[in-house]
Chains A and B, each alone.
Chain A
Amino acid sequence: MSGPTIVGDVAEMFREQFEYRELLGQMTRRDLLLRYKQTVMGFGWAVFMPLLNTAVFSVIFVRVAPMDTGMPYPLFAYCGLWTWNFFASSLRFAVTSLSSNTSLVTKVYFPREVFPFSAVLVCLVDFAVGSLVLVALMAYYGVTPTVSMLWLPVVVLVQVAFTAGVALLVAMANLFYRDVKYLFELVLTFWMFATSVVYPTSRVGGTLGSLLALNPMTPIIDGYRAVLLTGASPLTPQFAVAAVLAFVLLFLAWLVFHRTEYTFAESI
């Protein structure tokens, strides 16, 4: 018998994911249905949270400490918060996605990747709903979309890849060590302020500034602003690095996840 090879594992990963593609759809559907049934506002929450935060930060950075972001601040902030919200809430769902489905993980066989992946897909739907507000804001501030908007799918794809990679890791980590959920909440808070969400991190400068430049989420969020708001190409060197990083991370995280998943039923 030969040991596991990367090629064999990758083939198995994709084959299983293909075989169970309908399950991924059903799980995503389940979570969306549940949200719609259990909460009064349903998808409204997807819009409400970034909108509320935009209002708060607009008061701070327009009235209290005015800051130049090269565009109307509410537009800058909503675009950042909307995309950050997609990232952060995907991970919040993903981190408990395995540990809260104990009976499924211990009783039925199917690729466990379905849990973190469907968490990302559910939030992608919210993200799409949230785009309506951005469209409204763009109309209000008279921003007309340019041809560079055609880059949007690329930016979304990079963010989805990066989010899915992190989602696999945190879901797995929380299964083995339940503290991860709390620790990760803390990390997310710091991470948001280390990203160009409500202010451009390029204004930080110094050692801290160059440290913040390593954060792959900043070029991704700046990518959205470029293609949607300023009509620029997202293909900066930083974005290219972030894109490569996102796919490498997804690949490695998935491989580790796949090689560990047979121990999940015993570890949960």
Chain B
Amino acid sequence: MAAAVTLEGVWKKFRLGERHDSLRDLVPAALSRLVTRKRDDELDAAEFWALKDVSFSVAPGESLGIIGPNGAGKSTALKLLTRILRPTRGTCRIHGRVGAIIEVAAGFHPELTGRENVFLQGAIMGMKRADINSRFDEIAAFAGIEKFIDTPIKRYSSGMQARLGFAIAAHMEPDVLLVDEVLSVGDISFQARCMERMERQIRDGVTVVFVSHNLQAVASLCKRSVVLGGGELQYDGPVDGAIDAYLRASQAGSRRPDTDPRFTVEAIEFVTADGQPAHTLAPHTACVFRATVQCHADAPAAAFSFDFERTRDLFYCYGVNTEDLGAERRAFRAGERAVIEFRWVAHFARGHYRVNLNVRDSTSMKFYLFAENIANFTVVETASYGGVVDVAPQCAVTLVRS
């Protein structure tokens, strides 16, 4: 089957600084263009490549994440797909009706009412009036602004405007949905509703390209992701690997400066208690983590600690060391190896987490090793709104007769 979205060898050039946009500059610019016939693939001093030879494709019904640091070219890639921009070289193709949740409130006019803006913005996004009409109540309810629908939106808070914009965009019925960092709007419950809505569209077979800095959202919506960095495609594959690659790239050079490299990690084994690979876990899965470490110089008293961090924001979730867990303090000699086994249970709420392994001297607390992100995993669960801890809830709703 033909791909729903294709980027083939796409290069995109941008100009830095201001363009000449006064007539005064027209004549010299036109002359210089006549004299120097510049080719498309050359850069002059004021230009740079926003995308360099980027290729990827998305199969129909697949959802693809695009992650990467600011300025990596993520939004440029989406704008090329929506046809707002055209590539300098290469081709972009989309099969089917495109819906873009990019700038959801771009067409809003402050003087018009919510109702008038829904029809205007809907038309801008390419929706038919009849479709908007039939979904109007749903849109207003989704945005949670039924009461204010006939008020000019200049009286809305920015959150209300963003919610209304997202609600309109979310009620398009496209074949291909392009989404750019929109989950940051609205409160937690609105974000949860947005995620739910997008999950439903994915289940319904909509092809999705999802750009976000929220790695947890990317991990839960997309099985596959690409990583862009400096305009180049750095990774294309399973989402876990993508998050890993992105984090590794963005944390390169963040080693603690006071590390005394007396230990190195030789091997890592990260499985569930019954021996399955522990990439994706249900909450409360029992897991085993085994690290083989090599000692390179005598260490009188070493303690090994494990930290859990949420990858999205490096929120520190949990940490403990072997000594505090009751393991005996012992000295290591140069050349000795040890396997540290750590059994634990994933009482985490849904999201993506990583494990760091530290080795420190138990008396001086000096680091012998600080190995970040030696393993990472995704907890999958759909009941909660998110958070960090899964409290293993149970519930009952009983009617009380009066």
Interface, chain A (partner B; CB < 8 A): 1, 19-20, 22-23, 25-27, 29-30, 33-34, 37-38, 103-104, 106-110, 176-180, 183, 262-263, 265-267
Contacts and interface: CB of A to CB of B under 8 A. Distances in A.
Interface string B82-121: 1111100001000000001011001101011000100110
Given A104-B106, A104-B124, A179-B23, 6 more contacts: A108-B106, A109-B82, A110-B126, A177-B23, A178-B22, A263-B86
A103 B103 contact: yes
A107 B23 contact: no
Given A34-B109, A108-B124, A110-B126, A265 B103 contact: no
A108 B100 CA distance: 8
B19 A108 contact: no
A38 to B, nearest CB: 6
Nearest to B83: A109
A30 B118 CA distance: 12
Nearest to A264: B84
B296 interface: no
B79 interface: yes
B333 interface: no
B21 A177 contact: yes
A168 to B, nearest CB: 19
B179 to A, nearest CB: 14
B106 A20 contact: no
Nearest to B15: A266
A265 B100 CA distance: 16
Among A25, A34, A37, A266, the one with the most B-chain Cβ atoms within 10 Å of its Cβ is A266
B123 interface: yes
Contact of B112 (A19, A34, A265): A34
Contacts, number: 80
B402 to A, nearest CB: 52
B14 interface: yes
A25 to B, nearest CB: 8
B45 interface: no
Contacts of A38: 111
Given A30-B112, A109-B100, A262-B83, A19 B126 contact: yes
B28 to A, nearest CB: 13
Contacts of A262: 83, 85-86
B106 A107 contact: yes
A176 B263 CA distance: 62
A23 B111 CA distance: 18
B170 to A, nearest CB: 16
Contacts of B23: 177, 179-180, 183
Interface string B6-44: 000000001100010111101000000000000000000
B22 A26 contact: no
B59 to A, nearest CB: 23
B103 A108 contact: yes
B107 A109 contact: no
B112 A33 contact: yes
B30 to A, nearest CB: 12
A1 B103 CA distance: 32
